[in-house]
Structure 1
Amino acid sequence: MWVVLVLCVLVAFVYLDTRKPPGYPPGVVFTDGPLWREQRRFSLRQLRDLGLGRTAMEEQLRREAREMVARLRACSDTGEPVLMHDAFDASVLNALWALLAGRRFNLDDERLRGLLDSVHASFRVLDMSGGLLNQMPFLRWLAPERSGYSHLVRVLCRMWDFLGETVSEHRSSLSLDYSRDLIDSFLQEMERTKSQPNCTFTEEQLLSLCLDLFMAGSETTSNTLGFAALYMVLHPGVQARAQAELDAVVGRGDQPALHHRPRLCYVEAVLMEVQRHSGVVPVAVAHRALKTTELMGHTIPEGTTLLVSLHSIHMDRDHWGDPEIFRPERFISADNELVQDDWFMPFGLGKRRCLGEALARTSLFVFFTTLLHNFTLSQPPGLPPPSTQGYDGVTISPRPFAALLTPRN
């Protein structure tokens, strides 16, 4: 019996070892120290140079939003309900891919659908704590399929191969004089630093960095927008008030833009409440204690992995009073000003705050306001109302639901 067991473990080890993404390095999400500081600083600088937080980035997002509206309008013209839980996926990913790789996909591109399926699958296999595999890592050898390990490896290998092909294409047309996107900038930095000892700019690090940004940046934003559409179906009064504010500030003949944002107080409050109530990111990215310390009477040894429950913060009854209720007014003051609550932290806090926060906030605003400015979302007759209980995983994703989209003249 023991001989058979050992042989099974060896076979599983050999099989899985051939399926692992080669050399999968740290990237920027699950690392710290000098490598993290250098890579994060480089990424932020390059993304800003490429238009993050500037007019060029906003225009890219507005173009994607217009194309999304055109696609949804074509679907709604049939009079049939439209699936909304993943309606934003392709547009959000395209905006991110333009920064990383300098191009976008057609919305009917089969490769795009395959990438989206891979991203969704990878986020549902585990949670931020690592799930069952993190608690009992030996299961990857004893039960690779049932534990989800083989599935995760297959998904990551597909993503790794796709990113590798993209980097190879960039290298074949690389110019050292100008940069088209983040991949170009990284390859140029590789050339400049290749003779330096302990250089962190390697091709494997580039692939891992792209994987981090590509997966985390697209999944969290598209899931939040999916929940935003869901809440508008469930709360038509909130939707009507947000649309009235858009009509008054933007006007019916224009598309919402960032310069309208300071006057769209209620719309901003709705987006904040969507992020708080849906809890798309229930647990912040893992931190590591750099030294032994005391916290609220507990000793935390050096090297301990720390997980912050954002869900517990956003659903704390002592602070919010009625956290289970979807109520955007909690972020509006008596003077009709937006309230910046210290307990609202969907992007985390401190040095490890989300790298893509600026892009995510802009994407949420542009796609959500453009959707509400063009359509009224309502519950299809004969169908049960959508559930606010999403699928578990690294992030929480909305369950499939449909809405009737009524064009606003």
Structure 2
Amino acid sequence: MTDTRHLMKMPVEALVRGHYVSQLDRPWTDTPFPFQGFEIQSDDEIATLRQYCRHVWVDRQRSQVAVPAGTPLPSERIPFLDDLRVRFRSASQARDTALGMLSSLMVRLQERLPVDLSGLSPIIARLDREMLNHTDAMLWLMAIHDYDDRLVEHSVNCCCLSLLLGHQLGLPNRSQAALAIAALLHEVGKLNMDASLVFSKPNLKIDDWEKIRAYPADSAAMLRNSGLDPEVLSIIRNHQERLDGEGFPDRLKADNVRLPYRILGIANAYDAMTSDWPRTPALNGHEALIQVTRMAPGRWGKELADHLTRILGIYPPGTDVALENGAWGMVVGSRPQARLKPFVVIYRQADGSRPGRLALMDTSQAGPGQRIAGPLPANRQHARIMQDITGQLLAS
């Protein structure tokens, strides 16, 4: 988060190249600068600032030239982007730790070596803090899908979504802990399955599907002697059961499909839909929410899908969107009270050009033509664009 002691109010006439402009005296969307903070690099930028602003706040620490004394920026005007960078760094560290730990654990499980599951609790506690305090940053990182091991990444993502849903629904602490551990381990039954069935085989036969549908029971069986709470094993075995009785492995129905099973089930479905698999190309978050909502009544219950939508917003972080003026951007987060008007990083301007710097648009303050027109379909460049934006955020 920006230290406001270093933000000084200056008249635009005093600006020179090398000053880092952190805040304007008007919304960024009222100017040609959709950049939440930038270093002045040309006289043209100074001239443009003079057209739109009377004064700005300059960051003394990030400026390349001296900044004269002025009026400090009030603390309530801390730029969103600076706060987002802090949250991304914290979320990224927690996520990387979880991915690394689970990757090592799965290797030992696959090789049938003894495993120590006591390390799961602190990992889950850290993920829980990040999901509650830095929700949008975690959801963004989950949407990138760039980890080498898909089962590991999918399991961590399911754990994070399950934690959020558990909090939303007021699960007791013990139930929440059991659900989170189950989410991390629910895929281990696939470790000894032919990799082509899981990752690459496009056309499956009936026998192939039967093998895949056995994985929840296989997962629970692999962990039966691990010392896990029976509730954890129950959630692992039954997370693919459905309210309509069409799930597996036991075709449970209605009230027998308990809430923890359904929470992990819907988290599992959403993350799978937003991942690229040989049999099912990835959907964007908006499209996946529509699919989940459509299927929810017979599988997990409509109320659970509604809770998921409240958490993610109608445009979840990582969703490509088009603005009314023709620009393209990607949702990076939103204020809890303004989920329909998120913050968007612009990566293609209305004229088709690419912004020279990280360009952030607050659509809750958008002017004519700058509101979201709708989502863009998933495309092959999505992952690269997400990685580029993430790199800029974390490097800033």
Q: Indicate the structure (1 or 2) with the bigger Cα radius of gyration.
A: 2
TM-score by length of structure 1 reads: 0.27
Higher relative contact order (CA 8 A, sep 6+): 1
